[in-house]
Amino acid sequence: MYRMLLIGGITLAITTGSATADPETTAKARALIDAHVKAIRPLEIIAGKAWWDANTTGDKAAFQKKEDAQNRLDAALANAATFAELKAAKDAKIDDKLVSRQIDLLYLMYLEKQVDPALLKKMTAKANAVEAKFNVYRAKVNGQELADSKVRELLKSSTDSNLRKTVWEASKGVGKDVEADLKELVKLRNQAATQLGFKNFHAMMLFINEQEGVELVKLFDELDDLTREPYAKAKAEIDEKLAANAGVKVADLMPWHYHDSFFQESPAVFDVDLDQPFKTADILELCRKFYAGIDLPIDDVIARSDLYEKKGKSPHAFCTDIDREAGVRVLANITATEYWASTMLHELGHAVYSSKNIPQSVPYVLRGEAHILTTEGVAMQFQKFSKSRAWLEKMGVKVENPAAFDATSTKVLRNELLIFSRWCQVMLRFEKAMYENPDQDLNKLWWDYVEKYQLLKRPVGRSEPDYASKIHICSAPVYYHNYMMGQLFASQVHHTIAKELYDGAAPSSVNYIGDKRVGGFMKAKIFEPARTLSWRDLMKFATGAELSAKAFALDFQAK
Ligand SMILES: [Zn+2]
């Protein structure tokens, strides 16, 4: 049976099964949703506002306020009686699609918090212990403590292989400090997952985020096949430069010869300064003009935002949609660099994909991005333009040495994406295997994957908990793969736009400038459906195909 569902001007054809829930059940489900929103919405807004205040000022009281609101939220979501009612509503197969989608999402939200409180307390304590050790850890070299920035600087600039090795090893030392706590934490997380009926914590987290392990590995296998060769080629070119800089043979390059301790970023080995065009350009104005040109104006976002460095403020960047009533804003610390141009394009990409461009008629529970991977994807789709000479020139920014800028920026972008994709392979596969069997030799497992996917050499005889020195393994578990899927999403959507709006032009030649149809496409195909569609259904709705690595891979073959 087909039913037409009207959301803010777009019409979705939805297939529904035969009606199974009686009107009374549907009414009960609606009441359940209403009660949830009534209780949760004010807390979410308080937490959002406090989080914003805390980060823009560094005010301790604001951090406390955010934590208090978060605790009250968690307590509400832990309510077992509400969870039971949600489960019953979910099993009743309600045929009003909007109601059933909300029930499904609420069920997942509450599911995560249904862990036995005593166990949850233990998990939180362990996680805090690990995080505290990360916060105080400093790499020690020759009896001297090094700040993280100093470690990065030495790995970037030192030509002394022995010093590099010492610094790299010291940077990994935190792994040893947290290893025992982390191993316990992994087991506690698995225990919680088993209590809730899952095989392990990894499987549970994927389920809560509407993902699935076998499907994910299949996607990452495809990505592996398509990136293996271009990655090896790009790495060979980088290796040659790194070897020359350190005065060693390529065959003797070790993990400490790269510019960050995990080789997750592209080493800065190419000559042209990508910052040059941004020394005189007004980055904010550039973004304002660009987004207005594609019919996604952001003047109101800018007015609410906090964009330049100041005392006490968070040094990072993020975008937050505080009330799902178009209160979206960005925190940033803009300086005249390519990094901040790209970061601003990224954060404003999140900003346009928010309640700002989602009709208020979409219910509160569904009024947000379809998935973390889809909003990261949109942000990444726009972020890339700061490295495009053609985009910069068309936007009126002067590029002094166009040919050299072109050659370097193309290479840097390609290298960044390839290096990141191979690093994500390690993260996904390691985490999955770790939660499946935490008692195996994790030190060995980590390096097996690093060798296989990143093509780095394992230091002879090394058996250290190097995996534990990556903070995300501890603090942001089962999350990293979404960044990679965001990149795949970005490429696939961009290719669809090139095909549908630009007559199949080469995607690398399409830069959206001044084209209002781009905003129209993004709104109709991606923003407005919001969370009424799962990320899988959104992908098919927007691009006509399932999420795959094909478009992403094509971006490297063109060059
Ligand atoms: Zn982002």
Ligand 1 centre distance from Cα of residue 337 (Å) = 18
- Expressed in angstroms and rounded, the spacing between residue 328 Cα and the centre of ligand 1 is 14
What dihedral angle (degrees, nearest 10) is formed by the CA atoms of 524, 297, 49, 485? 50
Cα–ligand 1 centroid distance for 346 (angstroms): 6
Tokens of 488: 């795949």
- Ligand 1 centroid to Cα of residue 528, in Å, is 19
147 CA → ligand 1 middle, Å: 26
Mean pLDDT for 32-38 is 97
Q: What is the pLDDT of residues 238-292, one digit of tens each?
A: 999 999 999 999 999 999 999 999 999 999 887 778 999 999 999 999 999 999 9
Half-sphere exposure of 198 (CA within 13 A, CB side): 23
pLDDT of residue 10: 42
Measured between alpha carbons, how far is 198 from 421 in angstroms, rounded to an integer? 28
Whether 180 has a pLDDT exceeding 70, the answer reads: yes
The reported pTM is 0.93
The band of 559, judged by pLDDT with boundaries at 50, 70 and 90, is: very low
Distance 320 CA to ligand 1 centre (A): 10
Give the pLDDT confidence of 305-348 residue by residue, as tens digits: 999 998 888 888 999 999 999 899 999 999 999 999 999 999 99
Q: How far apart are CA 473 and CA 441, in angstroms?
A: 16
Q: How far is CA 392 from CA 287, 344, 405, 487, 507, in A?
A: 11, 15, 11, 22, 17
DSSP labels, 342-385: HHHHHHHHHHHSSTTSS-TTS-GGG-S-S-HHHHHHHHHHHHGG
**To the nearest whole number, what is the mean pLDDT of the chain?**
93
Determine the Cα–Cα distance for residues 341 and 317; give it in Å rounded to an integer. 12
Residue 12 predicted with pLDDT over 50: no
Q: Is the pLDDT of residue 105 over 90?
A: yes
Annotate 286-322 with three-state secondary structure. Answer: HHHHHHHHCCCCCHHHHHHCECCCCCCCCCCCEEEEC
Give me the sign of the Cα torsion angle 260, 261, 264, 270: positive
> What separation in Å is there between the alpha carbon of 11 and the centre of ligand 1?
29
Instruction: Kindly give the distance from the C-alpha atom of residue 170 to the centroid of ligand 1, in angstroms, as a whole number.
Output: 30
* Centroid of ligand 1 to alpha carbon of 275 (angstroms): 21
CB 357 within 8 A of CB 301: no
Q: How far is the CA of 135 from the centre of ligand 1 (A)?
A: 23
pLDDT of residue 239: 97
Whether the pLDDT of residue 17 is over 70: the answer is no
Query: What is the Å distance from ligand 1's center to 379 Cα?
Result: 6
- How many alpha carbons fall within 13 Å on the CB side of residue 189? 28
**pLDDT band, residue 398 (cuts 50/70/90):** very high
Average pLDDT over every residue of 548-554: 96
Q: What's the mean pLDDT in 223-252?
A: 96
> Has residue 518 got a pLDDT over 90?
yes
* Residue of 354 and 152 predicted with greater confidence: 354
